[in-house]
Amino acid sequence: MRISNFIGGEFVAPKSGAYFPDINPATAQPIADVPDSDAADVDAAVAAAKNAFPVWSRTTAEERSRILLRLADLIEQNLDDLARIESRDNGKPLSLARALDIPRAVANFRFFATAILHHASAAHITDTTALNYTLRQPLGVAGLISPWNLPLYLLSWKIAPAIASGNTCVAKPSELTPLTADRLAQLSLEAGVPAGVMNIVHGYGAKAGAALVEHRDVPMISFTGGTVTGARVAASAAPMFKKLSLELGGKNPTVVFADADLNDAIRTSLRSAFWNQGEICLCGSRVFVERSIYDQFVDAFTEGAKKLKIGDPSDESTQVGALISEAHLHKVLGYIELAKEEGGTIVAGGSRVDRDGYFVEPTVITGLGCDRRVLQEEIFGPVVTITPFDHEEEAVAFANSTRYGLSASLWTRDLKRAHRVAAAIDSGTVWINCWLLRDLRVPFGGAKDSGVGREGGFESLEFFTEAKNVCVKLG
């Protein structure tokens, strides 16, 4: 199978004629040829998007909404097909793609399709002198760059608000998981998205991604990916004064106090550690447990981790699939070795699974302090540390002890403490007695090195439009 770029409503080959293989992580076998696009392809896509902008930006919100709702319906009608594609492309369990990735992509299109119908803009009356109102206008061509871990979900999180608010876009999905984006392009034609409104250029980040960030005719970049890449994107976008949203890495704490509902805390923190093989930016990879329940927690958590079923992602009972690539597999195994060198104890997992593909056992590590590299650096795999704490201040200090600040999950029945600790943790999201619950109206993003700006709900509509103040003299 060979996929193409999607430019101006047509599927086209990369100008260079070059392709690279897309590998199924669960078999280590190639499943598709992917365009190795370069600046010339990005140029063509930006030109198509620029061309489509005048008409699309003047299309009524009602009509844009209707088209995007049709696209949401089509994704939903093709849910099973898309989930299978995503599972093969990414290595994640099919059941997870069906329950999480694809339904959330549907929700993204539905939410932004309807949000534009209800988005109000402010008016300020200056006594009897003047009326100021805020005109929100789309900016033009949005550059959208997304990672491989939740491919369609995160791509649609950007495409939906960008085009709903009247921009056109050029999206560059991860080179490791291009297949659902390709299917989305086909569905967009069926839904009636006009040619040039949504363009997709496949290829490597350093080539196609960088060309998109550097393109003069792309005034805004929404990027989700690693912190190191985010810094590079920021460095090239800043001198061109582009609007920039960066959703970056995480090293998220799960903090369990002794008064928590322990069964719920263990069940949910197992999910938050190992769902999607730990490859969700919001996964809780550092677990901190109050000392009085530490042993009990470690025993139950370890037992739960050992019971998780690893295997063929297409098997309905599989809970842990394959890591995304061979390079990532070696990175994750390297951190497990490092944990041993740093003096940690592996109490569950710790090894590669003996089968084709890139499988690593759910791994639980104890005995490491917060300053160890394993607790400081994002591993982005099924590897979690558990560390005891003695009091609330220490729990907060441990939670805040990394450069990251994406999300946190707190477990306690003490209402006052829950609010106090939530306010003290430096992160964009704090979940109390839960994890990964989502309301599309809330601002989403990271603190510290986990990102700049907020997306989600009306925040995304504001990112993808520019506010203009219009001042009218009264009288």
Q: Min. distance of Cβ 229 from ligand NAD in angstroms?
A: 3
Site for ligand NAD in 83-122 (CB under 6 A): none
Tell me the closest approach of the beta carbon of residue 391 to ligand NAD, in angstroms: 30
Phi-psi region of 349 (alpha: psi -120 to 50; beta: other; left: phi over 0): left
Least distance from ligand NAD to the Cβ atom of residue 205, Å: 2
Binding to ligand NAD in span 380-439, by CB under 6 A? 380, 406
For ligand NAD, the closer CB: 86 or 290: 86
Q: Which of 275, 284, 340, 289 is nearest to 90 (CA)?
A: 275
Q: How far apart are CA 170 and CA 181, in angstroms?
A: 12
Shortest distance (Å) from residue 395 CB to ligand NAD: 23
Q: How far is the CB of 251 from ligand NAD (least distance, A)?
A: 9
The yes-or-no answer on residue 281 being catalytic is yes
Residues forming beta bridges with residue 29, ordered by sequence position: 24
For residues 443 and 463, the answer to whether their CB atoms sit within 8 Å is no
Q: In this chain, which of 72, 97, 160, 210 binds ligand NAD, going by CB under 6 A? A: 210
Among 138, 147, 344, 382, binds ligand NAD (CB under 6 A): 147
Contacting ligand NAD within 227-286 (CB under 6 A): 229, 232-233, 247-250, 281
CA angle 468, 469, 473 (to 5 degrees): 145
d(CA 369, CA 373): 9
Q: Length of the chain, please?
A: 475
| Minimum CB–partner distance for residue 362 and ligand NAD (Å) | 18
Exactly one of 103, 226, 369, 443 binds ligand NAD (CB under 6 A); that residue is: 226
**Taking a C-beta distance cutoff of 8 angstroms, is the pair 223, 244 a contact?**
yes
Task: Assess contact for 173 and 151: CB atoms under 8 A.
Answer: yes
For residues 167-196, which are near ligand NAD according to CB under 6 A? 172, 174-175
Q: Which residue has the tokens 């959330």?
A: 104
| Catalytic residue selected from 247, 290, 455, 459 | 247
- From the list 86, 279, 281, 283, the catalytic residue is 281
Longest pairwise C-alpha distance within the chain: 80
Whether 33 and 175 have beta carbons less than 8 Å apart is answered as no
Please name the residues in contact with 30: beta carbons below 8 A apart, sequence gap of 6 or more.
21, 22, 23, 24
Q: Please identify which residue in 205, 311, 362, 382 interacts with ligand NAD, judged by CB under 6 A.
A: 205
Let me know: does 224 contact 158? Beta carbons within 8 Å: yes
Q: Is 446 in the site for ligand NAD (CB under 6 A)?
A: yes
Question: Radius of gyration of the chain from Cα atoms?
Answer: 23
Q: What token pair was written down for 254?
A: 């799960």
Q: Which of 125, 206, 434, 467 binds ligand NAD (CB under 6 A)?
A: 206
What's the min distance (Å) between Cβ of 462 and ligand NAD? 18
Q: Does 378 bind ligand NAD (CB under 6 A)?
A: yes
Q: Is 247 a catalytic residue?
A: yes
By CB under 6 A, is residue 148 in contact with ligand NAD?
Answer: yes
How many residues lie near ligand NAD (CB under 6 A)? 31
With CB under 6 A as the contact rule, which of the stretches 29-37, 163-171, 201-209, 411-419 interacts with ligand NAD?
201-209
**E-assigned strand segments in 25-122:** 29-35
- Is residue 381 helix, strand or coil? coil
Q: Per DSSP, which regions of 29-156 are E strands?
A: 29-35, 123-126, 130-138, 141-145
Of the ranges 115-123, 145-153, 255-263, 300-308, which one interacts with ligand NAD (CB under 6 A)? Answer: 145-153
Q: Which residues bind ligand NAD (CB under 6 A)?
A: 145-149, 154, 172, 174-175, 204-206, 209-210, 213, 224-226, 229, 232-233, 247-250, 281, 378, 380, 406, 446, 451
Point out the residues that are catalytic.
Answer: 247, 281
